Structure 1
Amino acid sequence: MFIAKNDEEQRSRIWRAVVLVSTALIILIAIFLLTKMFTSNPVEGTWKDENGRMDLSIHGSGSADVTLLDFQEQDKVEVPLAYSIDKDAKTITFSYDDAKLKSVADKSKGAYSENDLETALESLASTYTYSVDQECLTLTESEYGDQMVLDKE
């Protein structure tokens, strides 16, 4: 034996230290994984509409960005949204702020108006039940039952 030559007592201490460190490491990894599994936001990430009309980026802080593709005569328009999520009921509610819409419309320099943005976001600003299945997010509107299917980017 190369470790501690033939001193059985010293090898025993080294072995106990190795077992203690590895046990602590395993416990910390297990706690991290359990915390991540039960406290993470299941809809967080970037999602693409299957029809190619929009991209939805959901952040963990209650904010989201929707990128409207081929909007009016523009290539794309990014609009900030707010959302609230209820993980127990599996519902998510999207809403927009009029001041932020006005800011986005002002940046366009007349290419589109605040009303154009409101019209485009009317279908998204609602409460949905959500279902995440592998790389697919399905949003079902609570009131009418309309569905949006988004794929993870």
Structure 2
Amino acid sequence: MSPVTLSLPRCGHRRVDHFLCEMPALIRMACVNTALVEGIAFILAIGIVLSPLVFILVSYGYIVRAVLQIRSAAGRQKAFNTCGSHLTVVSLFYGNIIYMYMQPGNSSSQDQGKFLTLFYNIVTPLLNPLIYTLRNKEVKGALRRLLLGSRERQGK
């Protein structure tokens, strides 16, 4: 899809008002009707974006069914905690991608596109270690001590 987007005619000398050359930003700069390109991009996004997401969700359906068969409540809780962390990361990533690439090109603002690009390229990967390590009891304890310790110091 990128070659088609890059070959769209641009009116005059314009700069991409974005952090990256994201496809929605490039389509927005075109000076021709982009409905066909947007339609093709939407259809491709269904296959490229939604297929892996559907695969992940179907896999989690099987995982949930298997976890519910675990006899110990502690075992089920531990398995669901692990799944919850992963699903949080998946929803952060795919939520932004779906919102950004599966909507009409001119319906979102340029600033909103910039924010989403930063979010899924920087914030989501930065949150990954935090989301996964908060499952660890030692990390939770250290974070609790850090936060409570700073509150105690502020109160003095």
Q: Higher Cα Rg: structure 1 or 2?
A: 1
User: What's the TM-score once normalised by structure 2's chain length?
Assistant: 0.26
Comparing both structures, which one devotes a greater share of its residues to helix?
2
